[in-house]
Amino acid sequence: MLADYLARQNFRVSALGDGAALRRLVEHELPALVMLDVGLPGEDGFALARWLREKNGRVGIIMVTAAADTVDRVVGLETGADDYIAKPFEPRELLARVKSVLRRGAGRGPARAHRPTGAGFRAPGAGRSR
């Protein structure tokens, strides 16, 4: 549902099932933005955020999780996330956060976006794929 919503907003979206799929994707193309669920199967979103930051500081990272605990939000931001949103959320709020992170990251260089267990996307007008 989230991937479809973002695709309708003209983002190029890649929905990935786990951290291993994200790691494979990043080896081929660096995303502009990755939305990470803290509760991914196998490798959690915190570990992936840390890995992404070490790999390349240009990628935007939004943590998306059911955990609304302050400690989880702080840990997410400390591991390298640019933003954090708790489920359930209003899709328009998430879209505003996505656009904000992409704007801030525009000065960092070329990019693409992905969300394991969710969506990844390219800036509006860049085409669509799933």
Give the chain's domains with CATH numbers. 2-116 (3.40.50.2300)
Is the pLDDT assigned to residue 130 strictly greater than 60? Answer: no
**120: confidence class by pLDDT, cuts 50, 70, 90:** very low
* Those residues with Cβ within 8 angstroms of residue 13's Cβ, 6 or more apart along the chain or in another chain: 3, 6, 7, 115, 119, 120, 121, 128, 129, 130
Tracing tokens 């302050």 back to the chain, one arrives at: 70
Question: What percentage of the chain carries pLDDT values higher than 70?
Answer: 82
Q: What is the mean pLDDT of residues 39-63?
A: 90
Per-residue model confidence as pLDDT tens digits over 1-30: 788 999 999 999 888 989 999 999 999 988
